């Protein structure tokens, strides 16, 4: 990202907040997209990001599901029974939506250490995560907030609008502290949130609570 506008910079630019509104994302997610080079932008002398409108259009072209929160509205067709528990194995289905391979492994190990009998599925981003939700009907969904492209809060909002979501349990893991999570608070009501630095201390307890809730719902 350039630190200042080039002399030939076009006038058709957007602020970070304007792009967030257009894409249905949190401002922080747009800032990260700029930092990763997914959107072309520069910083003004006052330190504010200015994003090329054409760059946003290009991103939407590359990500055809970006409208409607960047996520497919309809889940894929599936032959799974509406009851998500695997009737043959009796396992609880857990879906981890996390772009960090390291934390995918950490969460997988923690689940194994809980001695929970689960069928585990992994997704690297929100779009794949939503598709898997429709396909495997997980009992528990573990979501990172800072996912590439579409953030975890937008994913959660989309999930809650899906008819197949009823009865699924959510847990959020994030590197953000409480103050940094404020832009995502609208989506986190009633969901256990664990900071990644506290995973080893808190994850087993929160997972056990979700497993107990699922058992009581049977």
Is there a contact between 105 and 132 (Cβ–Cβ < 8 Å)? no
152 within 8 A of 146, measured Cβ to Cβ = yes
For 119-132, what is the mean pLDDT?
Answer: 88
pLDDT digits (tens, 9 = 90+) for 128-139: 888 888 888 899
Assessment of whether the complete model's pTM goes beyond 0.75? no
d(CA 213, CA 14): 45
Which domains are delineated in the chain? 13-62 (1.10.1660.10), 92-217 (3.40.50.2300)
Q: Which of 142, 55, 161, 60 is nearest to 100 (CA)?
A: 142
In the 8-state DSSP scheme, what is residue 117? -
């Amino acid at each position: 990202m350039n630190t200042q506008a080039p002399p030939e910079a076009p006038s058709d630019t957007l602020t970070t907040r304007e792009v967030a509104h257009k894409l249905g994302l949190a401002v922080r997610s747009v800032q990260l997209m700029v930092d990763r080079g997914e959107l072309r932008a520069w910083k003004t002398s006052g330190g504010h990001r200015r994003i090329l409108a054409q760059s946003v259009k290009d991103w939407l072209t590359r990500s055809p599901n970006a409208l409607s929160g960047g996520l497919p509205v309809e889940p894929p067709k599936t032959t799974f029974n509406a009851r998500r528990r695997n009737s043959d194995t009796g396992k609880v289905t857990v879906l981890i939506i996390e772009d960090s391979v390291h934390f995918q492994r950490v969460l997988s190990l923690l689940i194994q250490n809980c001695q929970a009998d689960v069928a585990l599925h992994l997704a690297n981003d929100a779009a794949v995560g939503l598709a898997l939700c429709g396909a495997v009907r997980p009992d528990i969904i573990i979501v990172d907030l800072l996912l590439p492209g579409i953030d975890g809060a937008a994913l959660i909002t989309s999930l809650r609008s899906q008819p197949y979501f009823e009865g699924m349990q959510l847990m959020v893991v994030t590197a953000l502290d409480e103050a940094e999570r404020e832009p995502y608070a609208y989506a986190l009501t009633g969901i256990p949130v664990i900071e990644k630095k506290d995973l080893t201390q808190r994850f087993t307890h929160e997972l056990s609570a979700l497993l107990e809730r699922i058992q009581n719902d049977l």
